[in-house]
Structure 1
Amino acid sequence: LTIADDSQDDYQYEEIPTDDEFSLEEEDDEDLSKALQTIQEQAEDARILTLQSVLTSEKSVAEIPEAIDDFFCNFLVRLGMSRTLDCFQTEWYELIERGVIAVGDAGLVPAVYTRNQQLEDENMQLRKDLENYKLAANKAKEAFLKMQKERDFHRMHHKRVLQEKAKLISDIKRLKAHYASYEPVLKQLTEKYQTLLRQKTLTSLERDRAVEQV
C-alpha cells in the first residue's frame, strides 16, 4: 500500500496571499484620506468665500450706505417680526404721504452698524458651516470605525483559514506516516501468503501422485 506524493494529489492546494490584510488597510487609509481631503477642501472654499464676502461687503458699505428705514426693515425681517414690519411700513409710508417725513430726511445708518450686522450674518454662516463640518467629520469617523471592524473581521478570517490549512497539511503528513508503517507488515504477509500458496500446491501434487500410485 503506497500513498501518492503531494504533487500527484488531485486536490490543488493554493497558498493564500498574506498581502490581503495589507490591501484592506490601504483601502481604509485611502477612504479616510479622501474624507479628510473633502473636509479640508470644504473648509478652504468656505474661507475663500468668507474672505470674498468680507471684501465685497466692505466695498459695498463704503460705496452704498444703507438708509435707516431699510436697515430697520432688514432687522425686523431677520428676526421674523412680520407683524411689526407691516405696522412700521404702514405708518412710515403714511407719514411720507402726509408730508410729515421726507424720503431724504430719514438719513443713513452709520457704517459701523451696517458692518456689525454683516459680521453677525457672517458669524451665523460660519457657525452653520462648522456644524456641517462636524457632521461630515462624524460621518467620516463612523465610516472609518466601520472599515476598521471589517478589516479586523477579514484579518481574523484570513488567520483562521491559514490555521485550518496548516492543520490539514499536518493531518496529511500524519496519515502518510501512519500508512507507511503498515507497508513492512503488508509485505511480510504477502510473502507468507505466497509461501503458503506454494506449499499448498506442492501438497496437492504429492497427494495426487500418492493417489495414482495406490
Structure 2
Amino acid sequence: ARLDRAQGGTQSADALRGVVARAIDDLDQCFSIITALLRIGEIENARRRVGFAVIDLQEIAADIVDLYEPIAEAKQIRLDLLSGNAPVPVYGDRDLLIEVLANLIDNAIKFTDAGGEVSLSVIRYGDGARLEVADTGIGIAPEERQAVMNRFYRSDKSRHIPGSGLGLSLVSAILRLHNAALTISDTRRRESRPGALFGIVFPPVPTPAPPPA
C-alpha cells in the first residue's frame, strides 16, 4: 500500500527511499515470521530428536554470554554468567538449546533499560540441571505468564517494542521437545522494576544415553 501511494504521488527521492526501506523492513518481518512458524512446526513434530546427544549446558551458556556481551554493553546493561566451570550435562539438541538461550537473553536485554542487569546461571539440579535467565526489566504480569508462550501474543508492557511475538513460542516448543519445565516469576532486584526470571529444569541424562537415531 505504501508503494502504491508512493507511485501515485510526487514525493522526493529521499521520501521514496524511505518508503522503499520501510517496505523492505516489512517484508523481512514477514519472512522472519514464516521462518519461525516453520521452525515451530518442525520442532512440534519431534523430528529434531534425531540430533540429541549429551551436551554441556555450561559451555553453551558461556558461549551465549560472550556473544551478547557487546550488545548488552552497547545498551549499558551488565550481563553476568553466574556459574562455575564444572560441566552441567543435559541430553538434547545443541543448536536448539543455543536458540533457547539466545531468545531468552535477547529478550532480557531488549526489555531492560540502560543501567540494568541481566544474568544467566546454570547449575546441577538433583539428577538434572537448572538454567535461569534473570533481568531487572519491565517484567511479565502473573496473569500473562502463560499467555506469552502463545504464538503472536504481546504483553501490554511490550507492545511498543518491535517483535513478532513468536520468540517465546519457539522457546516453549523446544523445551517441550526436551521434556524440560519452564517457570516465569519476578526477580524484584529493584524496587521500581519487577524484572523477569525464567527458570528451566532439565530432566536427568538417560543412562546410558541413547545413541543418535
TM tier, smaller: under 0.3
Structure exhibiting the larger radius of gyration computed from Cα positions: 1
TM-score by length of 1: 0.27
Greater per-residue strand proportion: 2
Greater per-residue helix proportion: 1
TM-score by length of 2: 0.27
